[in-house]
Amino acid sequence: METNILVVGGAGGVGAAVVQQLVAQGHRVRVSSRNPVGRVWPEGVEAVVADLLQPASLRAAAEGIEAVFLYVQGRAEEPVQHLRAAGVKRVTVLSTIDAANDSPAAVYNRRRHLEWEDGVAQSGLAFTCLRPGAFASNALRFFMPHLSGGNVVRLPFPDSKQTPIDTRDIARVAEVALTSDRLNGQRPVLTGPRSLSQREQVAILGEVLGRTLQIETVSVEAARADMSAGVPPAYIDLLIGQWEEETHQPSWVTAEVERITGRPATPYAEALRHVLAERKS
């Protein structure tokens, strides 16, 4: 059955994957963005202007909508009030694995995401909070920029471990949450199929690219300088702290993607091929 769904921030990486998944499955989709003009959206998608930091803008964007997918930005109380006033019945929040991580390095992420999770849980709306781990697409952000002038990736903690997840797997889970009662009240932790060190991730990236990549271990200060152009300072602190912690233990692996969607989580190499193909298109 078709469902009217609003994807807030549909131009973002996960949001765009959610839009594509919903359209492919025949749902009526509306996308909100701060500036949707000039963007190319899938056929049949309605684009509107809305901003989580301007909560009142959500009321008009959500009129006639049954379910909303959104990410965490600002505080939850006012946006949730406007969604309820618009008649929305269910909300799916893109949270983070850090909401279930009690380590000191995760405090920044845990606090702001739990505020949103608890806000929707107390709203009276049907809700699901998705808690993905590291995105496979992070390779574009943290590995690929180093390769423009050679085959060396500079990393402070190359033996830190993550379980990278394909954004398409997050989108498939989001569709279940948005269009059925199966995940009501749940906060599933979503990961890829294997814990991989960054050293292993770079090696797999090299295989996908057909290049032999090397790793240069650099200081934390050098890594901060490398990331400073495109990553907020608080997020740099989070990443550095987590990468150091993740050097000493395997990353969390769950089977939630398969439990919810009926298909195993996408292997890292396959996820990278998709990400790189999208980058070229």
Dump the DSSP string for 228-249: TTTS-HHHHHHHHHHHHHHTTS
Token reading at 206? 């090299």
Q: CA 6, CA 253: separation in Å to the nearest integer? A: 30
CB distance 166 to 274 below 8 Å: yes
Per-residue pLDDT band at 113 (split at 50, 70, 90): very high
CATH classification (class only), 4-133+166-191+252-265: alpha beta
Q: CA 123, CA 137: separation in Å to the nearest integer? A: 32
SS (H, E, C) 182-213: CCCCCCCEECCCCCEEHHHHHHHHHHHHCCCC
Q: Which residues on neighbouring strands pair with residue 214, listed in sequence order?
A: 152
Residue 37 neighbours by CB distance under 10 Å = 7
Say what the pLDDT of residue 2 is.
60
* Whole-structure pTM value: 0.95
Token reading at 196? 């991989």
Half-sphere exposure of 231 (CA within 13 A, CB side): 19
Mean of the per-residue pLDDT values for the chain? 93
Say what the pLDDT of residue 11 is.
83
Phi, psi of 91 (to 5 degrees): -130, 135
- Percent of the chain surpassing pLDDT 70: 98
Question: Which residues lie below 8 Å from residue 168, measured CB to CB, with a gap of 6+?
Answer: 17, 21, 266, 271, 274
Per residue in 191-248, pLDDT (tens digit) is: 999 999 999 999 999 999 999 999 999 999 999 998 888 788 878 888 999 999 999 8
Provide the residue ranges of all domains of the chain, joining segments of one domain with +.
Answer: 4-133+166-191+252-265
Q: In this structure, are strands 126-132 and 196-197 parallel, antiparallel, or unpaired?
A: unpaired
Say what the pLDDT of residue 71 is.
94
Which comes out higher in pLDDT, residue 249 or 183?
183
What mean pLDDT do residues 90-113 have? 91
Q: CA 60, CA 83: separation in Å to the nearest integer? A: 9
